[in-house]
Amino acid sequence: MKTKTATFFDLVRPDLLEVEARMLFSQYQHHPSLNEAIEHLLSSGGKRIRPILVLLTSGMLGANHEESINLAASIEMLHTATLVHDDLIDGSMLRRGIPTLNTKWSPGATVLTGDYIFARAAHLASTIGSKELMKIYARTLMTIVNGEITQLFNAQIIDPHQEYFDRIYAKTASLFEMSTEGAAILSGSKSEVIDAMKSFGYHIGIAFQIVDDVLDFISDQEHVGKPVTNDLRQGLITLPTLYYLEANPEGDKLIEKLRQREMDDQGIERLIDAIRSSGAIDQTLEQADRFVSAGEEMLDGMPDTPEKEALHELAHYVIKRTV
């Protein structure tokens, strides 16, 4: 039996193969280890949800095929580059079930490989030749990196909800937003359409990260490809924890204690169990649901095409997925 997930994927499968090939191909002769690294990083697969967003939006709005492939490949490479540096900084050992680059290579080689992938991503984007796109591209990279720096410096937080949404915007939604906005720009659509598709990407991206943060609580390691409930153990407070602690009169104090890594392991384990069995998980998923619905509203005026249907399916997949 075919699932809904398979349907939206089927529509872009041939294009996705082209995207993969574009990511692996370089016209330049560079150090062979760089290509090996890129092959290793891409071999893990990944959901390719950002390229799919580009391809479906492009298909729906009639953007140039070649440019769409380049944009999709470029965005996935930019995403890959940020993951290489992230995993190095966090000391992560696994990503999507395969060893991270930093477990195989020296820190120096890992930094440089990330830089190289940034450059390859920028080169792919530059071949499209859209001034507007390059600006958004650079701005999105600034947003992503600024989010990581802000998280790293871990300053006192005034509003934990605001901090959470700012963080997941920088980490995830900004690149989803760029995928749909970029594809709409390529199609030469008028600005209402571009703005609406940007908003669709934003809402789906926020929902995607909220669900990711829920999966960190409820999945087992085998499914997610990395150890779970890592967030809280690393002092990272996500929406389930915020909802759970809001009901607690000591909530604010506990949040600051968690952020400053002042809670002992036993306390954290007890808290994780409590959150898992509380209503906070469902409350969080309902919030994700609202973001998906708001995103789908943006598709209302779009051309009735199979791609539009697929974008609706993708939106539902984002909240129904278990990995």
Q: What is the contact surface with a second copy in residues (CB under 8 A)?
A: 28, 30-31, 33-34, 82, 85, 88-89, 106-109, 111-116, 118-120, 122-123, 125-127, 129, 131, 134-135, 137-139, 141-142, 145-146, 148-150, 152-153
**Closer to a second copy by Cβ: residue 55 or 141:** 141
Two tokens, residue 146: 């600024």
CA–CA separation, 102 vs 6, rounded Å? 33
CB of 90 to a second copy, least distance (A): 8
CB of 130 to a second copy, least distance (A): 8
Q: Are 283 and 243 in contact (CB under 8 A)?
A: yes
**Closer to a second copy by Cβ: residue 139 or 223:** 139
β-sheet bridge partners, residue 98: 95
Segment holding 95, helix H or strand E: strand 94-95
Distances (CA, A) of 68 to 44, 50, 168, 223: 23, 12, 26, 31
Eight-state DSSP code of residue 62: T
**Closer to a second copy by Cβ: residue 172 or 241:** 172
Distances (CA, A) of 184 to 15, 51, 187, 208: 17, 13, 5, 21
Of residues 231, 181, 186, the one with CA closest to residue 204? 181
**Closer to a second copy by Cβ: residue 150 or 287:** 150
CB of 220 to a second copy, least distance (A): 29
CB of 31 to a second copy, least distance (A): 5
CB of 89 to a second copy, least distance (A): 4
**Closer to a second copy by Cβ: residue 115 or 252:** 115
